[in-house]
Amino acid sequence: GASLENLSKRQKNCLETIKKVYEQQQSMWENKTQSVPQRIVSLTQPHIRPIVRGKAGKPIEFGAKLSVSCVDNYVFLDKISWENFNESCHLKEQVEKYKETFGYYPESVHVDKIYRTRENRNWCKERGIRISGPKLGRPPKNVSEEEKKQAHSDECFRNAIEGKFGQAKRRFSLNLVMTKLPETSITSIAITFLVVNLSKLLRQFLSLFLSLFTNNRTGELIKPLFINFDYTLNNFYVLKLIDLSENSWSKVA
């Protein structure tokens, strides 16, 4: 004689989640398997999925999976999903977003090993984009010093995106997202990267403010009443905070 009408909305959602968990467990028992699509591991957060990473001490992680790109030390959150996905399939989409934002393709793309598939290499080659990393096939016996220097430079350049993840986790609590709903969790993650970009922009403005009172040639402090506007304007242009080609101070950062 029990009725579901007496349950609250939260209790009804929890009951529906328990039913799905039971169905998944029964399916694995009957089929003699240990995995099931969209497996639920939390009653309060049924949208979270286990993601196998294979790390020492943490073979499985839980939470959102992100696809992030870094341009001029600014972070772009390209894709966020609660399901596990292959990052290499989204390289073309990320590069096309870059062209849509800046109006041209990048000169080079610095990616991890998982992105260096044959399809992605051919796609980048057709558009004149150099992709970092060694070529496919057997490595050559003799590598020139120029190629070694280029590979080292590419690897150092790619470390910027790893540093952004570390900065977001250590300083802005990216690894301590306390929200429960998927919508609020995505918003919290997006705001975290927004604050990372704002901190970078704040440092640039601070350095430009200090450059108002310094000399470009000697690097010494000059008179407080004198401001080198030409030097400051050039710094704004170099850091891509303004666009001088339009003869106006249009913000592009």
User: Measured between alpha carbons, how far is 61 from 46 in angstroms, rounded to an integer?
Assistant: 15
Contacts of 6 (CB under 8 A, 6+ apart): none
Angstrom distance (rounded) from CA 248 to CA 241: 11
pLDDT digits (tens, 9 = 90+) for 55-77: 777 788 888 888 888 888 888 88
Residue 218 pLDDT greater than 50, yes or no: no
Q: Over the range 47-63, which residues count as b (16 or more CB within 10 Å of their CB) and which as e? A: ebbbeeeeeeeeeeeeb
- In this prediction, what percent of the chain has a pLDDT beyond 90? 13
Task: For residue 75, report the phi and psi dihedrals to the nearest 5 degrees.
Answer: -100, 135
Q: Which of these CATH numbers, 2.60.40, 3.30.420, 1.10.3720, 1.10.10, describes 60-136+146-210+236-243?
A: 3.30.420
Residue intervals in the chain for CATH 3.30.420: 60-136+146-210+236-243
Residue type, 196: V
Report the DSSP pairing between strands 58-62 and 50-55.
antiparallel
Residue 22 is predicted with a pLDDT of 93
Q: What is the pLDDT of residues 86-138, one digit of tens each?
A: 888 888 889 998 888 888 898 889 888 888 888 989 999 899 998 888 877 78
Q: What is the value of pTM for the model shown?
A: 0.72
What H or E segment, with its residue span, contains residue 79? strand 74-81
Sign of CA dihedral 242, 244, 245, 246: positive
- Phi then psi dihedrals of residue 80, to 5 deg: -140, 130
